[in-house]
Amino acid sequence: MAVNENLRTPIVSVMGHVDHGKTTLLDMIRGSAVAEGEAGAITQHIGATEVPIENIVTKCGDPSLKDRFIVPGLLFIDTPGHHAFTSLRSRGGALADLAIVIVDINEGFMPQTIESLHILKRFKTPFVVVANKIDRIHGWNPNKNSSFLASYNKQSERVKTDLDNKFYDIVGELYNLGFNSERFDRVGDFQRNIGVIPISAVTGEGISDVLMILLGLAQKFLEGSLHYTAKSPGIGTVLEVKEEKGLGTTIDTILYDGTIKKGDIIVVGSLGDPIQTKIRALLKPRPLSEIKAEEKFQQVAEVTAAVGVKISAPNLEGALAGAPVRVVSPETIDAITAEVKSEIADVQIDTDSVGVTIKADTIGSLEALVNELRKEEIPIRKAHVGDVSNRDIVEVSAIEDPFYSVIIGFNVKVLPDAKEKLQTTSEVTLFRNDVIYRLIDDYKDWAKKQKELAEKEISDTIIKPGRFRIMPDCIFRQSKPAVVGVKIVSGVVKTNVDVVNTDGEVVGKVKGLQLRGENISEAKIGMEVAMALEGPTVGRQIKEEDTLFVNVPERHAKRIEHEIYDSMTADELEALDAFLAIKRRDNPFWAK
């Protein structure tokens, strides 16, 4: 087998928690490939690094392996981490064909990494987990650039055990997250099991294993999806929108299919109508050896997927990170413009008439946030890409429902004028985080607290239902006021409420409640208390064994049903139902 010219380079994204070693790993892959590389040179792209197959197999110590693989190499996206993955989609799903999830073996998974794992699962992207920083294990004896097993076998028994324990913690965590995993050398079927590779990005131990497993995954899973025709019009995704001196606004783009040329007309996704523009220049980084102070980039006439390239063209100001870039012809321009528009609209328009306002840094991350909020059944009024602006604050402050005068921002900043506005606008609550699950949890916790507070406020001012019975042999005074012993059957009775009998007639007002000689302000279900009732005379309007109810005013009954029904206890509801039945005997629409 040899490299198949029709296969493009698979795109690989590296994800992981801050400080777990993404940058160091990418540097190590790049650096070692440069050091070992004699055949193909590694190529620096815009936003990506291409490592040719020759370098990878040389690095793995067996150049004959080259014949086993048909992909031309691997293209690593340089924007490390979360951002590159959550944000970047191709038409088929995730932009990256493969992923490396990096985790510090001494620390385990962090929320952001867990989130990445969920996203990988959703997009069905093949990935490996690397358990980094094995050289930090106490007593580790480093073997520079060695394969993992070669180095592992040279360690003392104690160190091996220590590593194994930490390693199985990671496997256990993955299991809890719904992934079966094993050490990479023990995985028989990579479709069923995730391979976990212990490495050190500093000493290079295990790096060759990572590259080999990635190639294996590419070979196994991607062959079918990596075909491209070099002549087809280019399709890519905006990695970043960047202002460059002398060039104006440019878009760093990962081209994942076809070819793109200087002078081509492209359609680029934006918040409004898609941008149609003509490519002024295609730019690649200048090789390090020829770097001149003022010229960072060199022009190229055309590039073919997969590649990272900077596009300079007029009118790119509104371009969106994560949005599609498509080369068009006069025949296709209308249809493709409509497609690009609907791809972005898919994310944007699917909003509710009431709900929270959300902002995210790219189309892809906005979509991820929308998905998660939908799962939690949190309605979304507006979903936009971009930082939190003054306009957002003004708009949201006009929303009356406090649960929705909320902005949820994922990976975004608050613009300076919006910051000022926020300080003077108490109606708007802002949640910001770079982990979606945290954002959602924060919002949910807050909403729950708000609900409880609101309910408490209502329930403090509302007259609640209560049913009680006058106990036999407990008439302490006949009238003015009548003082009788009562037992609360359900609900609650407070002082100063009116009392009705089972015919719905008001028989008096509760003037006081006493429990074992002490004044109390309310009595709850099960309590036996002495009640002073102003109005009735025992033996006339009331008598022993009578059942009486708190007279809930109609307005209050309505509010109970609509606003605090969920927070009522079962016995309060029982009292309410019995009371409503009495009131509705004459008027079926009472409190409806």
Ligand X SMILES: Nc1nc2c(ncn2[C@@H]2O[C@H](COP(=O)(O)OP(=O)(O)OP(=O)(O)O)[C@@H](O)[C@H]2O)c(=O)[nH]1
310 sits near ligand X (criterion: CB under 6 A): no
47 sits near ligand X (criterion: CB under 6 A): no
Q: Is 556 annotated as a binding residue?
A: no
291 sits near ligand X (criterion: CB under 6 A): no
200 sits near ligand X (criterion: CB under 6 A): yes
User: 136 or 144, CB closer to ligand X?
Assistant: 136
- Dist. CA 41–CA 12, nearest whole Å: 18
19 sits near ligand X (criterion: CB under 6 A): yes
201 sits near ligand X (criterion: CB under 6 A): yes
- Site stretch for ligand X (CB under 6 A), options 127-135, 429-437, 514-522, 581-589: 127-135
576 sits near ligand X (criterion: CB under 6 A): no
User: 204 or 216, CB closer to ligand X?
Assistant: 204
- Dist. CA 38–CA 58, nearest whole Å: 9
Q: Residue 381: CB partners within 8 Å, gap ≥ 6?
A: 351, 352, 353, 354, 355, 356, 357, 399, 404
Per rule CB under 6 A, count of chain residues that contact ligand X:
17
User: 24 or 237, CB closer to ligand X?
Assistant: 24
24 sits near ligand X (criterion: CB under 6 A): yes
- Dist. CA 138–CA 489, nearest whole Å: 68
What's the closest the beta carbon of residue 27 comes to ligand X, in angstroms?
Answer: 7
φ/ψ bin of 177: left (φ > 0), alpha (ψ from -120 to 50), beta (otherwise) = alpha
Q: One symbol per residue from 61 to 90: x for binding ligand X (CB under 6 A), - otherwise; what is it?
A: -------------------xx---------
- Dist. CA 408–CA 260, nearest whole Å: 37
Q: One symbol per residue from 134 to 163: x for binding ligand X (CB under 6 A), - otherwise; what is it?
A: -xx---------------------------
Give buried/exposed letters for 205-225 (b at 16+ CB in 10 A, else e): bbbbbbbbbbbbbbbebbeee
What's the closest the beta carbon of residue 374 comes to ligand X, in angstroms?
Answer: 29
564 sits near ligand X (criterion: CB under 6 A): no
For 407, list phi and psi in degrees, rounded to 5.
-115, 130
Q: Note if the bond before 553 is cis, omega within 30 degrees.
A: no
Q: Is 203 annotated as a binding residue?
A: no
Q: Is 23 annotated as a binding residue?
A: yes
What's the closest the beta carbon of residue 205 comes to ligand X, in angstroms?
Answer: 8
What's the closest the beta carbon of residue 131 comes to ligand X, in angstroms?
Answer: 10
Query: What tokens appear for 418 in the block?
Result: 């919006």
Signed CA dihedral, 32, 35, 39, 42: sign only: positive
Q: Residue 331: CB partners within 8 Å, gap ≥ 6?
A: none
User: 84 or 463, CB closer to ligand X?
Assistant: 84
Among 20, 89, 310, 583, binds ligand X (CB under 6 A): 20
For 486, list phi and psi in degrees, rounded to 5.
-130, 155
202 sits near ligand X (criterion: CB under 6 A): yes
196 sits near ligand X (criterion: CB under 6 A): no
- Which helix (DSSP H) or strand (DSSP E) does residue 416 occupy? helix 416-424
User: 23 or 191, CB closer to ligand X?
Assistant: 23
421 sits near ligand X (criterion: CB under 6 A): no
Q: Is 81 annotated as a binding residue?
A: yes
Among 2, 6, 23, 480, binds ligand X (CB under 6 A): 23
Nearest to 30 by CA among 103, 80, 90: 80
What's the closest the beta carbon of residue 144 comes to ligand X, in angstroms?
Answer: 12
Q: Residue 231: CB partners within 8 Å, gap ≥ 6?
A: 258, 259
Q: What is the DSSP letter of 65?
A: G
- Dist. CA 287–CA 494, nearest whole Å: 83
130 sits near ligand X (criterion: CB under 6 A): no
- Dist. CA 403–CA 175, nearest whole Å: 36
Nearest to 523 by CA among 449, 471, 475, 588: 471
Among 30, 59, 89, 133, binds ligand X (CB under 6 A): 133
What's the closest the beta carbon of residue 23 comes to ligand X, in angstroms?
Answer: 3
Question: Residues forming the annotated binding site?
Answer: 16-23, 78-82, 132-135
Q: Which residues bind ligand X (CB under 6 A)?
A: 16, 18-24, 80-81, 132-133, 135-136, 200-202
